Amino acid sequence: MNIKQDNIRNVAIVAHVDHGKTTLVDELLKQSGIYHEKQQVEERVMDSNALERERGITILAKNTAVMYNDIKINIVDTPGHADFGGEVERTLSMVDNVLLVVDAFEGPMPQTRFVLKKALELKLKPIVVVNKADRPNARPIEVIDEVLDLFISLDADDEQLEFPVIYTSAIQGWASTEANKKGENLVPLFEMIKNVCLPPSGNNEKTQIMVTNIEYNEFIGRIAIGKLQNGSLETGQSVSIITPQGEINKQNINKIYTFEGLNRKEVPKVDYGEIVAISGLHPINIGETISSAENPHPLPSIKIDEPTITMTFSANTSPFAGLEGDYVTSRHLKSRLEKELETNVSLHVSQTESKDKFLVAGRGELHLSILIETMRREGFEFEVSRPKVIFKEIDGVLHEPIERVFIEVPSEFSGTIIEKLGAKKAELVKMESPNPDQTRLEFLCPARSLIGFRSELLTDTKGNGIINHTFEDFQPYKGDIPTKNKGSLVASDTGETSNYGLYHCQERGTLFIGPHTKVYTGMVVGQSTRNVDIDVNVCKKKQVTNMRASGSDENIILTPPTILSLEQSLEFIGDDELLEVTPQNLRIRKVQLDSKKRIREWKSKQGK
């Protein structure tokens, strides 16, 4: 018989990127008295990862807990981007309730749809938090209507449609139950969590925890995190670890921790309904069940959406290999990717025919680019190929991943975008204008059409286009899609770039590098104005004679180079190119560095 733990509320906070959920968690922590009066607390304290702070997005789901009167509220801050859906899906299985944070001006956005869909499938109790209600252009009433439409479109049941609503300003630290009335603090939100949110239920008969997260501590090893669904746990207790394949091994628990603010508190015993961290179990992985030693019962495994994008990771083979990184061999690369698999459940890694190359599959370009950026900051040096979509055969028919794409552009550019995506086999599903100057477009589009499209969108809309997309499903192959071949400017010599050499190359395209940069033969130094690759000598120096002085080089005016970010580099590279990633530089290069061999290979392909 299931009994409720009335003094606990397990709540996940979900939202679209930049709708303020991490800031809201900050305020809940502050107003619950977690910090002492004079303690200095940085903003977005839950975004502890350096990449999260730089990009202003949540990548890793994190746990915290606050006390309100006699109620303990376990809070999980989840990522807002669909590429980190593996994090969302795992963490939602730990909670019974969800706070859906929506911007009071923007309303529900693509990622709002994604995270809410997952929450409704798990039958979680929703509370809608209309945040940024202090904005001068806020439209809270209309936003609630849009949220209701979203719930209906996601097949919410009658109980879920009766969602309570609260209006907040996370930045100012207040909540109100009335749309146009400013509150004084977050007490109304705390009260709503206490009175509306469901307490966890379970039984004392059999111990069951699904491991939904893994952390690593250099002193105590792996720490398993999950919600104790049933039963109780004690320090030193003997338990069974059950893998998704049904294998069972018995181990003893070393220590048990619960969450308290931003810290963990060691406890001797814990009952069902609590979110706990457990040390001493090794090996232990995400998706495994911790159950009683005498009577092991596995929990249903967590369903994670499949990867849709794949890239090849390989050891660096460029002429500059080994000069800038600490970890450069394929052995280092393999062990690092295997370590990532332990915590990144939506990532797949497989060995190719070559021992030095690994096929890495993820949820999207952002998912993989975050992994690449993390690895280069750790001192790794490697090469990656152009992202490719994963095709599947279903009942003998080739299927491909389809994305639901949401684009917001100034109205004058909407025709251009519709035409461009139409040529890429995208289907226009919805078109609306929130105001005369803006148009919102919704498409169902093959995922392969979106590789490199973001930069095209920004060019076509003069930097004013906004794109978001979420995985829809696999559909029958849509046929060949014409691709615009963009040629590259390829360095013909190894050396250091000169003003003179760059000056004579800049009329042939857009340069990616400036003067006094070391380059090698076969390295891509810019984008060609034509649809073919052009070999250029960017290291060329002016011939010095008694008629010409080298000093006149200083009068040369160079166009500032376009420095590509990691994401832009991944969008730019072609099938015959690689991105060389080191802690200090990103370099695009040809797979075949020798220009004569490249031409011979190209001619042989044309002859086939």
Binding residues for GTP: 18-23
Residue 607 to residue 598: CA distance in whole angstroms = 14
The contacts of residue 327 (CB under 8 Å, 6+ apart) are: 333, 336, 378, 379, 380, 381
| CA 481 to chain centroid | 27
Q: Supply the Cα-derived Rg of the chain in whole angstroms.
A: 27
Residue 173 to residue 183: CA distance in whole angstroms = 9
Inter-CA distances, 438 with 102, 372, 413, Å = 20, 35, 9
Burial class of 110 by CB neighbour count within 10 A (0 to 12, 13 to 18, 19+): buried
Say if CB 212 and CB 78 are below 8 A apart. Answer: no
State whether residue 568 is helix, strand or coil: helix
Task: Count the neighbouring beta carbons within 10 Å of the beta carbon of residue 342.
Answer: 14
Task: For strands 125-131 and 97-103, give the pairing.
Answer: parallel
The kind and range of the H/E element at 601 are helix 595-607
Give the pair of three-digit tokens for residue 248. Answer: 């069972």
Residue 551 phi, psi (nearest 5): -65, -25
Burial profile 510-543: b = 16 or more Cβ within 10 angstroms, e = fewer? ebbbebebbbbbbbbbbbbeeeebbebbbbbebe
| CA 367 to chain centroid | 4
* Nearest of 236, 342, 235, 231 to residue 296 by alpha carbon: 231
The contacts of residue 596 (CB under 8 Å, 6+ apart) are: none
Strand partners, 252: 238
Inter-CA distances, 580 with 69, 384, 426, 454, 464, Å = 55, 7, 32, 22, 30
Residue 59 to residue 538: CA distance in whole angstroms = 40
Say if CB 140 and CB 152 are below 8 A apart. Answer: no
* Nearest of 78, 91, 86 to residue 25 by alpha carbon: 78
Strand partners, 242: 248, 289
Say if CB 103 and CB 23 are below 8 A apart. Answer: no
Inter-CA distances, 55 with 47, 49, 91, 176, Å = 10, 10, 22, 30
Give the pair of three-digit tokens for residue 214. Answer: 């893994």
